Amino acid sequence: MVSLERAAGALELLDRPVAPAARAASLADIDRLNAWFRGYALTMSEIRRLAAAVPRNRALVVLDVGGGHAAFAVRLVRWARRSGRAIRVVVVERDAETLAFARRACAAYPEISLVRADATALPVRAGAADVVAASLTLHHLEPDEAVAGLREMAAAGRAVVVNDLLRTRFSLGLVWLATRLLCCHPISRHDGPLSVRRAYSSAELGTLAGKAGIGRFEIREYPLFGRLVAVTA
């Protein structure tokens, strides 16, 4: 796959103040794209695998960093309920408006807690979580911030799962086409391709992880879905 130069310093529209209706529409687009291109499924698969090592006589604790409007957190809780497993999911999101959407989405899920905080300064004690997940979060951070975020995640949990976009020309074309064929909001049509260009390559992610003190980071690429997944355990 042909890689692209990273769009360092670029800012997505959803990272800026936008009207609530536009934010809601764009978040809904992200939800659909995650479902279509296995963004949720890849992270869920890793969490289920890691959860097998956690005793079933206590709640599985998952920290969802950059969890947005809590769509993935809700899926996690539904899986745990079907599996007869106790779970506690803490969604960390820095945007207050996005958290407001999450609050409504989580009304029927007391297993989910919402915390407004930044990925680079997680308000949790060391080792508080069994799994720390970050999906489509890391590419929003510039390198120094990404290192800080990875360091915080590694300290907060026993295992870290990072799911992000694969920065290739194929991924760029895939996202560009999907955001148009699926009639996505103009914000999504702008931010989707830019997100690909902001993402870190596997080699770059490995370097960032090393700077964060993460000794073992297994990184796998899924070119057909335009994704990469990195796991510490």
Q: What is the pLDDT of residue 171?
A: 96
Backbone angles phi, psi at 158, to 5 degrees: -75, -25
Q: In 83-187, which ranges are E strands?
A: 87-93, 112-116, 129-135, 157-165
Instruction: Work out the number of other CB atoms within 10 angstroms of the CB of residue 96.
Output: 8
Dihedral sign for Cα 59, 155, 68, 53, please.
negative
Q: What is the pLDDT of residue 3?
A: 63
pTM for this predicted structure: 0.95
Q: What is the pLDDT of residue 142?
A: 97
Instruction: Work out the number of other CB atoms within 10 angstroms of the CB of residue 115.
Output: 16
- The series of mean pLDDT values per 10 residues for the chain, 233 residues long, is 82 94 96 92 97 95 97 98 97 95 95 97 96 97 98 97 97 96 96 97 97 95 96 88
Q: 65 forms bridges with which residues in the sheet?
A: 92, 134
Per-residue CA distances from 62 to 33, 80, 164 (Å)? 22, 11, 18
Amino acid at 24: A
- What DSSP designation does 200 have? P
**Residue 143: is it exposed, middle or buried by C-beta count within 10 angstroms (0-12/13-18/19+)?**
middle
